[in-house]
Amino acid sequence: KGLWGRPIEGLVAVVDYDERKLVELIDTGPVPIPAGGPAVNPDQPDVMPAQGPAQRRFRIQGQWIEWDKWRFHLRIDPRVGPVLSQVSILDGDRRRSVMYQGSISEMFVPYMDPGDTWYYRTYLDVGEYGVGSGGVPLRRGRDCPEDAALVDAAFVDEGGTISTKTGIACIFERTTGDAAWSHYEVRQGASLARRHTELVARFIVWLGNYDYVIDWIFTETGSLKGRVGATGIVQVKGVASKDMAAKSAANDTAYGRLIAPGTVAVNHDHFFGFRLDLDVDGTNNGMLIDRVRKVDLDKSGPDKTGRDSPRKQIWQVFPHKAKVESEAKLNVDPRQPALWRVINPAVSNGVGNPVSYQLRPGMTGMTLLDDAEPAHRRAAFTAYNLWVTPYQPAERYAAGTYPNRHPGGAGLPEWTASDRSITDTDIVLWYTIGLHHVVRAEDWPIMPLVESEFELRPFDFFDANPTATEGLRSTDR
């Protein structure tokens, strides 16, 4: 049934690792060991039979991958996991740069139980454990489609020993079943549409009880998505309560939910911090914040023609180019909407607008912890959904290079303290996906995959929809 479902609660050894001495043995008293969840059958048949391998449209040459108009380099880093480099897209006969490098930078999973045996469970998975080194071999037909290409990766450990992990990542093309775009022409009685096809580079990491599926997704319309899915076994504690009618239930569930007899899943957060070094048509980039705001109309109207309008209010877009780092510490606020774009002011599209790529946020749960909270100080990058910094080669990890031995404040807070310029230079975006996990009964004994993503999409980068003249399909009505 697995060790994660049957914790021995209330027993912790505090060890001074430097002195190699036992400092304290915490024993809060006996608690019944939960029975654990029902056994998971790894040989349970799939609902749908595997379809045969399809003809691949992508090409792998060493570490380089080409598909449709995209070209990129993929490697597996022992610390941050899958890293995309030199991502470019073909526009006519011109290959144009989009992103120099993109990867996860840090992950933060703090549990919300202040007890002696739980308060320290505030994991910085990238800096403390390593995502790439925890990669697992992938299986066609289960972790990836039957026709996926499996990718090996070489690692060098702390002692200089080289090892190879086979099938640690997979590459595959899929048709989503959705339309990339669609339009019905009533006069012609015909429907024009294009199916949505994408390329996926997938990596799965095992980190204790949790498993994470990391996908980089390329689309034919020029978008690039980063997606993380959480699955595995939720971390639980043993309690006396067998059900919510027990006298001890209120106390036992103060910091979590009873999901099985004698088993409480503790509330926690998941934060996935990404480092996105965009190079939109080169490195001469800037951060543009398009603020969408309500406008109260006067009789002159917004076009200043003097024409009176029956409308009293509209909204308009007010662009603001961030000059320094403090102007680009941003949070998603539905009451004050904005578009976040990396622009190249030196390159224009066909109608004269500067080319850009827009970051479209996904799950944007914010930390609820104050700056004074020790756990938050170690992962202060979670204070904002987005940070923007000028490129510096040594600035790679959002919580700093050595977060396991740092009291807090390293990484992004330290780097941005000098409020450097981010105007017309090589800039890096640091975007964090966040979610608060209140565990439900259906997350036990193994948690269904929960996915969160963001999108980098072209915004005035092309002169038109890059697929609008390709693959038209007409269906008479």
Active site residues: 125, 210
DSSP symbols for 266-335: EPEEEEEEEEEEE-TTSS-BEEEEEEEEEEE--TTTTTTS----S--EEEEEEEEEE-BGGGG-B---TT
In angstroms, rounded to a whole number, what is the distance separating the alpha carbons of residues 434 and 107? Answer: 10
Q: Which structure tokens are listed for 438?
A: 């209140």
List the beta bridge partners of residue 150. 170
Q: Is the dihedral of CA 362, 217, 338, 368 positive or negative?
A: positive
In angstroms, rounded to a whole number, what is the distance separating the alpha carbons of residues 412 and 204? Answer: 27
Q: Which structure tokens are listed for 419?
A: 């409020």
Neighbours of 453 (CB within 10 A): 17
- Name 417's Cβ contacts closer than 8 Å, sequence gap at least 6: none
Using DSSP, state whether 381 is helix, strand or coil.
helix
In angstroms, rounded to a whole number, what is the distance separating the alpha carbons of residues 96 and 76? Answer: 24
Sequence length of the chain is 477
